Homo-oligomer: A and B are copies of this chain.
Amino acid sequence: MADNSAPIGVFDSGVGGLTVVRALMERLPHESIIYFGDTARVPYGIKSVPTIEHFSEQIIDFLVGEGVKLLIVACNTMAAVASATILRRAAGVPVLDVIEAGSRAAVKISPNGAIGVIGTPTTINSNAYARRIHELDSSIRVFSQACPLFVPLVEEGWLDHPVTRLTANEYLKPVLAEQVDSLVLGCTHYPLLKAMLRDVAGPRVRLVDSALTTADLAADCLRQQDLARQAGAAPAYRFCVTDIPLRFQTIGERFLGRSLGRIEKVDW
């Protein structure tokens, strides 16, 4: 039987998933969280499916071993190509992911039935958002665009730089030409570009921040499965990574929006 005071396990290939942790801390302030970032092998987006599946299994085994009550896949790449593997390996622990959350939210706010999706090449090539959106509503038109430079631009800290705007104009042009109702930020790095993307996309297009939508979906899931922790309990946060590179603290805190505290290094 699940223990309501057990932590939520959130995982990603690197630091990007900390935007999801930040949204969870705000949406569910009593819940404890264990974050796992595979920083020794990041990024996954340029790796093959069997390799990503193998890495995902190792992470699930670690988090299930830590007794988490809910698993959140905060990595679009893993959610896109390894979700069946993750579900099988989770041994009955409920699993949510950013693609499910972003797809549901976008469908709700797209009255004219046109959704744009941006993400890394692996996420876009997997077609996972379009597939999930069409399962929810087969009449919706989905326009997808890979934006491979956005992650390095965010990590460079050029959040509102002329180079980033020029890049965004080029990437978004074909999607915006389709008069989309909403634009799904299908990568956990992209919430940091939200202000600039809102400018480029214009006021008619609603942005779907999958960190926020994932936190909403997690809250629903805990309530439905009667797994929520009681109000008033003090949450504990742990941050586990497979490597601690020089800039981890700086970049990590930019994503989390607060101090990371102690970081634990996990050796396989």
Closest approach, in angstroms, between the C-beta of A170 and any C-beta of chain B? 7
A107–B46 CA distance with the chains assembled, in angstroms: 37
Residues 35-70 (chain A) with a chain B CB within 8 angstroms:
39-42, 46-48, 51
- Which residue from chain B places its CB closest to the CB of A265 in the assembled complex? B48
Interface check A247, CB cutoff 8 A: yes
Closest approach, in angstroms, between the C-beta of A252 and any C-beta of chain B? 12
- Give which listed residue, B46, B166, B243, B245, contacts A245 with CB less than 8 A: B46
Q: Is the CB of B156 within 8 A of A162?
A: no
Residues of chain A at interface, number, CB under 8 A: 29
Closest approach, in angstroms, between the C-beta of A181 and any C-beta of chain B? 28
Interface check A152, CB cutoff 8 A: yes
Residues 107-130 (chain A) with a chain B CB within 8 angstroms:
121-122, 125
Q: Is the CB of B163 within 8 A of A152?
A: no
Known contacts A148-B156, A166-B166, A170-B163: A243-B51 contact under CB 8 Å: yes
Q: Is the CB of B166 within 8 A of A46?
A: no
Residues 141-187 (chain A) with a chain B CB within 8 angstroms:
148-149, 151-153, 155-156, 158, 162-163, 166-167, 170
Q: Is the CB of A245 within 8 A of B47?
A: yes
List the B side residues contacting A243 at CB < 8 Å.
Answer: 47-48, 51
- Which residue from chain B places its CB closest to the CB of A45 in the assembled complex? B245
Interface check A231, CB cutoff 8 A: no
Q: Is the CB of B48 within 8 A of A42?
A: no
A51–B267 CA distance with the chains assembled, in angstroms: 11
Interface check A244, CB cutoff 8 A: yes
- Give which listed residue, B152, B170, B245, contacts A148 with CB less than 8 A: B152
Known contacts A149-B156, A152-B148: A246-B125 contact under CB 8 Å: yes
27 sample A-B contacts, Cβ–Cβ < 8 Å, listed by A number:
A40-B41, A40-B47, A40-B51, A42-B46, A46-B245, A46-B247, A47-B243, A48-B243, A48-B244, A48-B245, A51-B243, A51-B245, A121-B247, A148-B152, A149-B149, A149-B152, A149-B153, A149-B156, A149-B158, A149-B163, A151-B152, A152-B152, A163-B163, A163-B166, A163-B167, A163-B170, A166-B166
Other A-B pairs beyond A51-B243, A148-B155, 5, CB < 8 Å:
A41-B41, A47-B243, A48-B243, A162-B166, A163-B167
